[in-house]
Amino acid sequence: MRCDDLDDVIEALAEGEALSAEHHAHVAGCARCQARLAMARAVDRLLASREAPEPPGAFTFRVMERVGREQWRAEQIVDVGFNVAVVAGVALVVAGAVGLAWSMGWLTVERPTLEAMSTAIESWLASTLAKGPTVALAALLLTSALGLWWWVEGETSL
């Protein structure tokens, strides 16, 4: 048996574990391994004598407080996501209703509403919405896609 063969078992030996007679025989006749064993035992004693540090006084309280705060923040994020989803849903319903009303011819161009927008948007809206249910459906799909994107954006940016 060579010194290298004890590399993996020197710790166990230091902790007092009984190993094979060959191991013990080698240590008995090898000054180098005796020194290694003495060193390993010294390290073990040193580690055993070290006291585990006491946690600071309000440790548990502070940890629980932080957990509560993190939880509250997570709930806030869910709330924001929910509100945005509700707003997007309402916008979707309104857009769908307007599109439907428009395609059914129940809605005439409301000048006061459209005047608030730029002329380009106004004419684009007027021309596209006037094309009927197909465009209204497309607008509905676009709105829902935007609503979804908005919701995801709100969820990740907070």
CA distances from 75 to 59, 97, 150 (A): 24, 32, 19
Q: What is the closest distance, in whole angstroms, from the C-beta atom of residue 1 to Zn ion in the complex?
A: 8
Minimum CB distance to Zn ion smaller for 1 or for 135? 1
Minimum CB distance to Zn ion smaller for 34 or for 123? 34
- SS3 state of residue 74: helix
Q: What is the closest distance, in whole angstroms, from the C-beta atom of residue 36 to Zn ion in the complex?
A: 8
Q: Establish if 3 lies at the interface with Zn ion (CB under 5 A).
A: yes
Q: What is the closest distance, in whole angstroms, from the C-beta atom of residue 30 to Zn ion in the complex?
A: 3
Burial of 102 (0-12, 13-18, 19+ CB in 10 A): buried
Rounded CA separation 42/21 (Å): 23
Rounded CA separation 36/44 (Å): 12
Q: What is the closest distance, in whole angstroms, from the C-beta atom of residue 18 to Zn ion in the complex?
A: 18
Q: What is the closest distance, in whole angstroms, from the C-beta atom of residue 48 to Zn ion in the complex?
A: 25
Our measurement of the distance from residue 54's CA atom to the centroid of its chain's CA atoms, rounded to an integer in Å, reads 32
Minimum CB distance to Zn ion smaller for 33 or for 140? 33
Minimum CB distance to Zn ion smaller for 30 or for 100? 30
Rounded CA separation 4/106 (Å): 93
Rounded CA separation 54/139 (Å): 64
Stretch that binds Zn ion, among 1-9, 15-23, 47-55, 143-151 (CB under 5 A): 1-9
Minimum CB distance to Zn ion smaller for 1 or for 125? 1
Site for Zn ion in 11-70 (CB under 5 A): 30, 32-33
Residues that bind Zn ion (CB under 5 A): 3, 30, 32-33
